[in-house]
């Protein structure tokens, strides 16, 4: 992974990839899948993600005020489905699935690099109403990184020869589409 300039960080999730939300607090850590995340501001980079109030992730995020969004490549589809189908309350998913995690440079959130193509470390922006009413949590991106084989200078490059590094888009019930077959629109006149 190479650091991504913060003004390019929103591009990492602009196309709506399914992400892994990682969290940690007081010696406990967790990871869950989230299909519902999006950028909401370019500079400073801010994002929103739906984290249901029943999840262990939500408990840790509210306690620590931080989380990370890690962007899995297509080769991690089974893992994404697995960590999105069980709760960390039942046991450490990192240990159970053999997930290696580094530490985010600013907030120390777990960041996944093996099989992932990018991550964004975020400080929670407390918004009690949207959290309570819509399970929507806002975050300011304080650090970001990406795999330069597929993301460089603020641009994704999904090609026929990098299928395992293409991002996942959840269609439902464990079926995903890969980001591929890009179309470059002509410059507007
Ligand atoms: C592909 C996929 C996408 C998901 N997207 C979301 C989401 O956007 N928001 C959410 O709250 N839960 C989502 N879930 C469900 C959580 O990942 C699931 O409830 C998880 O078990 C919570 O884990 P935790 O209790 O360890 O935090 C998704 C699950 C899958 C499989």
Each residue of 117-175: pLDDT tens digit? Answer: 999 999 999 999 999 999 999 999 999 999 999 999 999 999 989 999 999 999 999 99
CATH 2.30.110.10 fits 2-178, yes or no: yes
Q: Which two tokens stand for residue 102?
A: 């580094």
Per-residue pLDDT at 125? 99
Is the CB of 33 within 6 Å of ligand 1? Answer: yes
Query: Which residue from 20, 30, 34 has its CB within 8 A of the most atoms of ligand 1, so it is best to mutate?
Result: 34
Domain residue limits, the chain: 2-178
pLDDT, tens digit, for every residue of 107-125? Answer: 999 999 999 999 999 999 9
Please give the number of the atom of ligand 1 that sits closest to the Cα of 51: 11
Please give the number of the atom of ligand 1 that sits closest to the Cα of 85: 21
> Ligand 1 centroid to 2 CA: how many Å?
27
Residue 55, helix vs strand vs coil: coil
């Amino acid at each position: 992974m190479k650091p991504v300039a913060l003004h390019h960080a929103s591009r990492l999730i602009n196309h709506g990839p399914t992400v892994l939300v990682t969290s940690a607090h007081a010696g406990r850590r967790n990871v869950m899948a989230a299909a519902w995340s999006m950028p909401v501001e370019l500079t400073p980079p801010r994002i929103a993600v739906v984290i249901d109030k029943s999840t262990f992730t939500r408990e840790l995020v509210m306690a620590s005020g931080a989380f990370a969004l890690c962007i899995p490549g297509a080769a991690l589809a089974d893992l994404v489905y697995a960590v999105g189908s069980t709760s960390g309350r039942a046991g450490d998913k990192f240990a159970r699935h053999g997930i290696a995690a580094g530490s985010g440079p600013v907030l120390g959130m777990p960041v996944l690099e093996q099989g992932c193509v990018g991550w964004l470390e975020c400080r929670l922006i407390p918004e009690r109403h949207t959290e309570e009413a819509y399970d929507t949590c806002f975050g300011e991106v304080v650090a970001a990184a990406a795999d330069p084989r597929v993301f460089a200078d603020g641009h994704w490059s999904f090609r026929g020869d990098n299928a395992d590094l293409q991002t996942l888009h959840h269609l439902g019930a464990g079926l995903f589409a890969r980001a591929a077959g890009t179309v470059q629109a002509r410059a507007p006149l």
